[in-house]
């Protein structure tokens, strides 16, 4: 059969495909020059590019939203809701704290405990938090694990909402979803302003909305593992995104070394100790940033094999199908991309 010959049905299908492709392109296509904004929040940078026909400078709104977020969830912000709850000073929480808490519990159940927002005191014990590192004794570990295991924290009431049932010694830590969550907050702000094309990056947690005016996808680099935390960032691979977020959790930026052993900032809640396996980083692509952030941390706890098993066991969860792992083998790093992640890689 000659190439140019199509049956009636084939012709209709072709027209439908062309129509859908055109609709997808026009749906995402804005017009104008980009606005670029950089700033600081959550002890890190943020960088945002957006196409807005009105060229509005949204930095004041962005800063105020991120500041409001810090006043709820930041462990470094004195007087934040989380600091007051952790110190036992207060039990009243705001809606944002309640939301972070409920989402964290949801991921805790989903990942069978790999993700746990109650590990704050353990994080401090190893010195990843705002306190100085201490030498950790078995006794300290056991009593914190016991406290976390017996904790029955829940949100009650409506106005005000408050936290009850917190076991003594338990401290919350939302850092494993905080940056992703704040990216989603910013994305919601841009959506509400009718901006349909943007790239938001808060400390490496990224969301890309729509396409650029020329029809190109937003392209985001995944960092190559660094020898140490002070090394310059290099790109391992780049992916194309549209209406997706990518979040990377890695152990080569935040860690400490003792007696030649590198301890990661990810805690295995089952043992109470920093994770010790060959995974160097995990990048998860999801529709929402908080989710990618939470799952990237959970996969760092599970390790490569268990993570791959988990992904296989949850084929109905579209938000954990595109995942990229970088792991160490014999002192050299290797990569593994799930088939859905491979499809995003820019040639």
**Binding residues for ligand AMP (CB under 6 A):** 115-117, 119, 123, 128, 173, 175-176, 249, 254, 265-267, 269, 293, 296-297, 300-301
Chain centroid, CA 137 distance in Å: 31
Nearer to Mg ion, 237 or 289 (CB): 289
Binding residues with Mg ion: total (CB under 5 A)? 5
Residues 239 and 218 sit within 8 Å (Cβ to Cβ):
no
35 binds Mg ion, rule: CB under 5 A: no
Q: Binding partner of residue 161 among ligand AMP, Mg ion, none, CB under 5 to 8 Å per kind?
A: none
- CB crowding 188-211: b at 16 or more within 10 Å, else e: eebeeeebbbbbbbbbbbbbbbbb
Report the DSSP beta bridge partners of residue 200. Answer: 48, 207
Structure tokens at 230: 């002070």
Closest CB to ligand AMP among residues 199, 300:
300
Closest CB 104 distance from ligand AMP, rounded Å: 7
Task: Please report, as residue ranges, which positions from 287 to 316 form the binding site for Mg ion (by CB under 5 A).
Answer: 293, 296-297
The smaller minimum CB distance to Mg ion, of residues 173 and 293, is found at 293
- Check binding of 176 to Mg ion (CB under 5 A): yes
Report the alpha-carbon distance of residue 107 to residue 314 in Å, rounded.
Answer: 14
Cis peptide before 160, with omega less than 30 degrees from 0? yes
Q: Measured from the CB atom, is 195 or 202 closer to Mg ion?
A: 202
**Which of 28/292 has CB closer to ligand AMP?**
292
Report what 81 binds from Mg ion, ligand AMP, none; CB cut-off 5-8 Å by kind: none
Q: Which of residues 254-293 bind Mg ion (CB under 5 A)?
A: 293
Q: According to the 3-state scheme, what is the secondary structure of 223-269?
A: ECCCCCCCCCCCEEEEEEECCEEEEEEECCCCEEEECCEEEECCEEC
To the nearest whole angstrom, how small is the minimum distance from the Cβ of residue 205 to ligand AMP?
A: 8
Location of structure tokens 């859905």:
340
């Amino acid at each position: 059969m000659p190439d140019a010959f199509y049956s009636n049905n084939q012709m209709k299908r072709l027209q439908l495909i062309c129509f859908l492709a055109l609709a997808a392109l026009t749906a995402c296509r804005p017009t104008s020059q980009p606005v670029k904004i950089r700033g600081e929040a959550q002890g890190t940078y943020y960088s945002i590019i957006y196409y807005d026909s009105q060229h509005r400078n949204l930095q004041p709104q962005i800063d105020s939203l991120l500041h409001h977020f810090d006043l709820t969830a930041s462990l470094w912000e004195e007087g934040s809701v989380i600091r007051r709850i952790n110190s036992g000073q207060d039990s009243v929480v705001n809606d944002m704290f309640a939301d972070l808490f409920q989402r964290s519990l949801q991921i805790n159940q989903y990942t069978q405990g790999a993700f746990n927002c109650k590990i704050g005191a353990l994080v401090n014990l190893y010195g990843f938090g705002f306190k100085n590192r201490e030498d950790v004794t078995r006794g300290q570990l056991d009593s914190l694990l016991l406290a976390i295991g017996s904790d029955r924290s829940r949100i009650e009431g409506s106005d005000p909402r408050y936290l009850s049932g917190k076991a003594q010694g338990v401290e919350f830590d939302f850092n494993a979803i905080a940056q992703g969550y704040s990216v989603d907050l910013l994305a919601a702000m841009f959506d509400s302003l009718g901006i349909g094309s943007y790239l938001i990056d808060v400390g490496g947690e990224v969301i890309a909305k729509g396409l650029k005016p020329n029809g190109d996808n937003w392209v985001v680099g995944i960092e190559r593992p660094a020898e140490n935390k002070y090394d310059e960032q290099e790109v391992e691979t780049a992916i194309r995104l549209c209406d997706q977020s990518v979040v990377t959790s890695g152990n080569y930026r935040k860690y400490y070394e003792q007696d030649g052993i590198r301890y990661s900032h990810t805690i295995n809640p089952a043992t109470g100790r920093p994770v010790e396996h060959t995974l160097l980083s995990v990048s998860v692509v999801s529709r929402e940033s908080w989710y990618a952030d939470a799952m990237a941390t959970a996969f760092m706890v599970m390790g490569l094999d268990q993570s791959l098993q988990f992904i296989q066991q949850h084929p109905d969860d579209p938000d954990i199908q595109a995942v990229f792992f970088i792991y160490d083998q014999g002192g050299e790093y290797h990569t593994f991309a799930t088939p859905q992640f491979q499809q995003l890689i820019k040639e």
